Amino acid sequence: MITPEYIQTMARYNGWQNRSLYMAASRLSDEARHKERGAFFGSIHGTLSHLLWGDTIWMSRFNGWEAPKKGIPESADFGGDWPSLVSRRREADDRILDWAARVSAADIEGVLCWFSGAVQREVCKPRALLITHFFNHQTHHRGQVHAMLTAAGATPDDTDLPFME
């Protein structure tokens, strides 16, 4: 289904897109980043915070990161203030790239089981599917942030994978 090369490409894409969104969001005031915009996690800041939370929970399962102490409902506050969120995002992206560089074909095989707070039960799924979901989840929420940034007058860079730097 997927390969280590796919994971490495998507980890690079994740970092590239996060740099673009955070640069655009940095041009807005803190008030504009926290403004309720009708997204599932409310604001630009809340959605970026949830995305960091999601990356952290998945990497706790894939690579032994410390899992967030709180669940999805509190994830919009996971990142802290803007400077903390920016710093934590950079660190997470670097760690995701490091993990991706070390993933082998064997690491993608098999099944991963965990207790899901979202559905309140143990879930077991193929690792390849979950890694694909991890990157898809990032893209989904970055799309929401891109739309909110554009509506707020900020202009993120291109999002097309073939044009990745």
Please compute the mean of the pLDDT values over residues 38-44 and round it to a whole number: 94
Q: What is the pTM of this model?
A: 0.95
Does a structural domain hold residue 16? yes
Does a structural domain hold residue 165? no
φ and ψ at 158, to 5 degrees?
-55, 150
Quote the number of domains for the chain: 1
Q: CA–CA distance from 89 to each of 79, 121, 123, 132 (Å)? A: 8, 29, 27, 20
Please compute the mean of the pLDDT values over residues 152-164 and round it to a whole number: 92
The pLDDT of residue 1 is 80
Does a structural domain hold residue 115? yes
Model confidence at 56: pLDDT above 80:
yes
Does a structural domain hold residue 38? yes
Please compute the mean of the pLDDT values over residues 56-85 and round it to a whole number: 96
Calpha distance 110→136 (Å, rounded): 20
Question: Which structural domain, as residue segments, surrounds residue 26?
Answer: 4-153
What's the CATH number where 101 sits? 1.20.120.450
Does a structural domain hold residue 164? no
Task: Look at 49 and 162; give whichever has higher pLDDT.
Answer: 49
DSSP bridge partners of 59: none
**What is the pLDDT confidence band of residue 118, given thresholds at 50, 70 and 90?**
confident
Q: pLDDT tens digits for 17-28?
A: 999 999 999 999
